[in-house]
Structure 1
């Protein structure tokens, strides 16, 4: 974690800006003391796009000939797993609790891959990934708490 602040400024700014769709829904639900299923779905959809992005980043890291991560079966297969988990998550999207639980697991698996299976990533990147994933995790847990604690309120009528 000591290398977190060595992250390039664009990575820090874009990484923290990328947390807004994670943090805003549960924060808004907490302030209004209501569970908003549309906001939960928006957060879920964004979460699965990020999980897929993380797999794609891993694939991209393995492609250059100079990369220490070779485009072998292990690296490329591990690159595809997050997208498959994201797809399964969206198949469960009609029920927020299992879907959010699944995307939390997908984020955790992706972080595990990045920290332990590809130790050649730059240390600043691994620190940044850990911080961003922790915030995303707690934001998703916040949505689950709002679901269980607050009355449901529809933002948009049908």
Structure 2
């Protein structure tokens, strides 16, 4: 048997019935996760249930994420240093495209591949935290919906490696944004980690969009040169 306090039940009921988007879903999730009793996945449906997602809510979520960024200084220095260093492969590619006047296809693919590895890494973190907080030793505490935020990035990473460069860049960028949304606004992570995730994701997504821009505008000079060379040989 499982037991949820009356306060949690009331907050869950309000979340489901008021027809509005609640800002306390993360707090509710933390409250439920800290319960000493195992809770089946079906009882956790109220954590992420929302009637709709409005523009006003998107603005509030963005403001909340930006506020979390102010807590970065509270995090361990080694984590902050490693996190900052992990951005180098992201920012290097658009810088090379800008300096070289073209966007080599191999550069863009390397950025997509690195983004895919980062997404898989973030999915692994989410998977481990989910199992740990929800009592992984008890089968009825885990369901597919709970695992979706952890497995989804892995699938998106694999698909991005199969897509053409523009679509691949959009896929990994969108997946990073989705993971940041879940991790920053709907996860029981420390505030400093949420702020770090918001900042690092912003840098990564901007870098990916710059690479996409350079890929579409500047093109691949080496590829164009090879095409012209083959065309001349045919004539």
Provide the TM-score with structure 1 as the length reference: 0.88
Structure 1, residues 46-68: CA drift from partner, whole Å, max 9, x if none? 0011011111011111233xx3x
Structure 1, residues 104-142: CA drift from partner, whole Å, max 9, x if none? 111111111112331x11000000000000000000001
1:78 maps to 149
Which of 164, 168, 172 is the equivalent residue of 1:99?
Answer: 168
CA offset at residue 81 of structure 1? 0.8
Unaligned runs of 5+ in 1: none
1:51 maps to 119
2:108 maps to 40
Unaligned runs of 5+ in 2: 1-68, 137-141, 227-235
Structure 1: distance between partners of 2:219 and 2:147: 44
**Higher gyration radius (CA):** 2
Structure 1: distance between partners of 2:203 and 2:123: 19
If asked which structure has higher relative contact order (CA below 8 Å, sep 6+), I would say: 1
1:37 and 1:153 in contact (8 A); partners too: no
1:15 maps to 83
Q: Secondary structure at the match of 1:108?
A: helix
Q: Which has the larger displacement, 4-13 or 124-133? A: 4-13
Provide the TM-score with structure 2 as the length reference: 0.60
CA offset at residue 70 of structure 1? 5.0
1:87 maps to 158
The list of structure 1 runs, each at least 4 consecutive aligned residues, that deviate by more than 4 angstroms after superposition, is none
Aligned length, in residue pairs: 150
CA offset at residue 42 of structure 1? 0.5
Structure 2: distance between partners of 1:89 and 1:130: 22
Structure 2: distance between partners of 1:129 and 1:107: 10
1:27 maps to 95
CA offset at residue 36 of structure 1? 1.1
